[in-house]
Chains A and B, each alone.
Chain A
């Protein structure tokens, strides 16, 4: 039996984040790193050693792709050595980065989420803004001194690039993108007398899930003849809540970091979820297990997970944690997540981005930048995207013959061309315009965790026989806000916001200096004109 990622517990990092912020705040007034200054040339006669903290999905092929990318890059730049450190969880990377900020031992290049970068940015010049690097004629994206076929800036999918923008600067490059998909046991849905609609709705999923709860006289579920059936399982409940709110046009947060999660629409959503948890029609990964395990055993009809988890989904999935004898045979259908308004679909954009940490030696940063760029080459992009239901982040890679050939061979085998995986990728390719990301600010990671925890706590409480009503949800709001220190995050961001506003007005001395400079230039120009007039 093969083993997928065990539910390792990584810190929610709230305490750690606040310690980090305190430490960084304590540095205020002390000298941090100087801002990165672009050197004129990249020094190829000096040796540079950089570290790359990468995330994989506990997938050996992905590890091999990183290793090959490093080997190929080092052949092009023999003076750069890249040391790979592998992670399987974004939270663990975030944790380790924060720990290493304090000791000045951050990696050079790091797979990350923009939410995490917002926290790193509380340190002075810790993360390198990439705008100047990316637009540099010689070493920038598509630059003429870059020793490989680097994509131009306009060849990176604009929306994905924009997701890496914080406070008007790009602090990361996108590496891979995914969204969520609903993996459906179509055979059982039809057995219950339903046909899958063109567009999934929440109402449809709830209705079919409730219908699947019917049992026979022996206590077996009629639809699968087994003792176990959880018709609808959601892997990432933070995404679930965020997407539901977005689809409803309801508040979540402002761009500046004001927390707007706790309101009547959230309450309505939790009440609906509670109803289906009570009947046993809905559960979550944290409470029950991986949706794929239940789906593949014929114990789940609707499994919502990342498109980057597609290789685990379905009867013929190349990867599986359950034994052969437990596998059920059924037709797997891949669809976008359910919607409240199918005419205006909304789904999350997610996936790894890459940031660069600043170092004392600008040449070392340049080495990091060149390697980061290398990760966007067609070869790396298409190879990695084909390991799961990811999509490449460049138009160049997406339109390449190799990738188009890969997409066209959907279902040729149950390995590289596994149909569920390629359909999951296509789902995102067809819906890039319908994806969104949530605002990034200090504490946005905690807000995301809190959004998911509202659902987890509601389902657990229902399972334990507690009554979920308005009073319960009001109490839950208080508990979650306190647990994730959302009130403090609001204050913190208000302070940052007001400091930014204060920074908007120039100090008097600066104004005097600027006016003096303008006056001096005016005098010089007047003098030159006077000299010309005399001649």
Chain B
């Protein structure tokens, strides 16, 4: 009997652990709470309409004056939460993986679909998305369907981002035109199959103390790189890169 009880306890523990695992990115279905939209329903919603979603924090960009900007994702798609009402205390709780229910308005700014004027509550649950490889669809119209997701790009080639004061080609710029200084956003160009794209290290998301900031500053034209980041949009695709590895 004792053995049977022990076996039961072990099995219960195993299932409990498995249950925990399901919160950790096993690819299972996201069951939405009552009154919460699925990702498809969110995407189908009209601009300026009120939306209610559940998603998991993937990264935080900034907090100012009780407003937070957050990259969030569920198992079907991603959301950019711009200037969401958030106390500084709550902002600390928004660690990667944290589940939240967000109520706000679906908006568009320069092609970026986002939720604005939002409020949120933290819920039970945890999920960190694996980076989805979108290298093969970079040039396709399908790319926009992955907007805001945590994604990866493999085997891209670093191109000249501009020129320095002496007229030499450089691999990155501070600000879009080189008008900035250390600590500002970094802009760099990478190419694949004859197409060139501008990628950004967003300094609020990854400041000049981060590995990715240092890695981009160390780039050379012609380097082959793998990258991860969020598929942000500004008048076209403009990924916010969070990691970069020179091959």
- Chain A residues with CB under 8 Å of chain B are 1-4, 6-15, 56, 58-60, 62-64, 85-86, 88, 287-290, 293, 321-323, 460, 463-465
A86 with B64: in contact, given A289-B110, A293-B235 (CB under 8 Å)? no
Measured in the bound complex, the distance between the Cα atoms of B165 and A198 in whole Å is 44
Given A3-B198, A3-B200, A9-B67: 7 more A-B contacts, CB < 8 Å: A1-B198, A2-B177, A60-B179, A62-B179, A88-B179, A289-B110, A460-B105
Interface residues as binary, B60-77 with A (CB distance below 8 Å gives 1, 0 otherwise):
001011010100000000
Evaluate contact between A6 and B234: CB separation under 8 angstroms.
Answer: yes
Interface residues of B in 199-241 (CB under 8 A from A): 200, 202, 204, 234-236, 238
Measured in the bound complex, the distance between the Cα atoms of B107 and A15 in whole Å is 27
Evaluate contact between B238 and A3: CB separation under 8 angstroms.
Answer: yes
Evaluate contact between B117 and A289: CB separation under 8 angstroms.
Answer: no
Residues on the B chain within 8 Å of A62, using CB: 179
A9 with B64: in contact, given A321-B235, A464-B48, A464-B49 (CB under 8 Å)? yes
A4 with B176: in contact, given A9-B62, A323-B235 (CB under 8 Å)? yes
Residues on the A chain within 8 Å of B49, using CB: 464
Evaluate contact between A2 and B176: CB separation under 8 angstroms.
Answer: yes
Residues on the A chain within 8 Å of B126, using CB: none
Evaluate contact between A323 and B67: CB separation under 8 angstroms.
Answer: no
Shortest C-beta distance, B85 to chain A (Å), equals 12
Which listed segment binds A: B20-28, B33-41, B180-188?
B180-188
Residues on the B chain within 8 Å of A3, using CB: 176, 187, 198, 200, 234, 238
Interface residues of B in 104-148 (CB under 8 A from A): 105, 107, 109-110, 117
Residues on the A chain within 8 Å of B50, using CB: 464
Shortest C-beta distance, A169 to chain B (Å), equals 32
Evaluate contact between B176 and A58: CB separation under 8 angstroms.
Answer: yes
Shortest C-beta distance, A233 to chain B (Å), equals 12
Measured in the bound complex, the distance between the Cα atoms of B111 and A322 in whole Å is 11
Residues on the A chain within 8 Å of B62, using CB: 9
Residues on the A chain within 8 Å of B117, using CB: 460
Shortest C-beta distance, A62 to chain B (Å), equals 7
Question: Does B83 reach chain A (CB closer than 8 Å)?
Answer: yes
Shortest C-beta distance, B206 to chain A (Å), equals 14
Shortest C-beta distance, B201 to chain A (Å), equals 12
Shortest C-beta distance, B239 to chain A (Å), equals 12
Which residue of the partner chain, among B110, B165, B175, B178, contacts A88 with CB atoms under 8 Å?
B175
List the A residue with the shortest CB-CB distance to B237.
A1
Which residue of the partner chain, among A10, A288, A321, contacts B64 with CB atoms under 8 Å?
A10
Evaluate contact between B109 and A58: CB separation under 8 angstroms.
Answer: no
Measured in the bound complex, the distance between the Cα atoms of B117 and A287 in whole Å is 11
- Chain B residues with CB under 8 Å of chain A are 48-50, 62, 64-65, 67, 69, 83, 105, 107, 109-110, 117, 165, 175-181, 184-185, 187, 198, 200, 202, 204, 234-236, 238
Which residue of the partner chain, among A290, A293, A464, contacts B105 with CB atoms under 8 Å?
A464
A59 with B177: in contact, given A9-B62, A289-B109 (CB under 8 Å)? yes
Shortest C-beta distance, A9 to chain B (Å), equals 5
Residues on the B chain within 8 Å of A464, using CB: 48-50, 105
Shortest C-beta distance, B45 to chain A (Å), equals 12
Evaluate contact between A11 and B64: CB separation under 8 angstroms.
Answer: yes
List the A residue with the shortest CB-CB distance to B232.
A6
Shortest C-beta distance, B104 to chain A (Å), equals 11
Shortest C-beta distance, A392 to chain B (Å), equals 21
Residues on the B chain within 8 Å of A287, using CB: 107, 109
Measured in the bound complex, the distance between the Cα atoms of B109 and A463 in whole Å is 14
Residues on the A chain within 8 Å of B109, using CB: 7, 287-289
Which residue of the partner chain, among B69, B110, B178, B181, contacts A290 with CB atoms under 8 Å?
B110
| CB<8 Å pairs between A and B, sample of 18 | A2-B198, A3-B176, A3-B198, A3-B234, A7-B109, A9-B83, A10-B64, A14-B65, A58-B176, A63-B179, A86-B179, A88-B179, A288-B109, A293-B235, A321-B110, A321-B234, A463-B48, A464-B48
Shortest C-beta distance, A82 to chain B (Å), equals 14
Measured in the bound complex, the distance between the Cα atoms of B64 and A313 in whole Å is 31
Shortest C-beta distance, B169 to chain A (Å), equals 15
Which residue of the partner chain, among B105, B175, B236, contacts A323 with CB atoms under 8 Å?
B236
Which residue of the partner chain, among A6, A60, A288, contacts B185 with CB atoms under 8 Å?
A6
Shortest C-beta distance, A287 to chain B (Å), equals 8
Evaluate contact between A9 and B69: CB separation under 8 angstroms.
Answer: yes
Shortest C-beta distance, B133 to chain A (Å), equals 23
Shortest C-beta distance, B77 to chain A (Å), equals 23
List the A residue with the shortest CB-CB distance to B108.
A288
Measured in the bound complex, the distance between the Cα atoms of B110 and A322 in whole Å is 10
Shortest C-beta distance, A23 to chain B (Å), equals 18
Residues on the B chain within 8 Å of A4, using CB: 176
- Closest 8 A-B residue pairs measured CB to CB? A3-B176, A289-B110, A60-B179, A463-B48, A11-B64, A63-B179, A60-B177, A11-B65
List the B residue with the shortest CB-CB distance to A66.
B179
Most B-side CB within 10 Å, residue of A4, A14, A60, A460: A60
Residues on the B chain within 8 Å of A321, using CB: 110, 234-235
List the B residue with the shortest CB-CB distance to A290.
B110
Shortest C-beta distance, B174 to chain A (Å), equals 9
Measured in the bound complex, the distance between the Cα atoms of B181 and A100 in whole Å is 20
Evaluate contact between A58 and B236: CB separation under 8 angstroms.
Answer: no
Evaluate contact between A56 and B179: CB separation under 8 angstroms.
Answer: yes
Residues on the B chain within 8 Å of A463, using CB: 48
Residues on the A chain within 8 Å of B105, using CB: 460, 464
Residues on the A chain within 8 Å of B165, using CB: 64
List the A residue with the shortest CB-CB distance to B61.
A9
Residues on the A chain within 8 Å of B107, using CB: 287
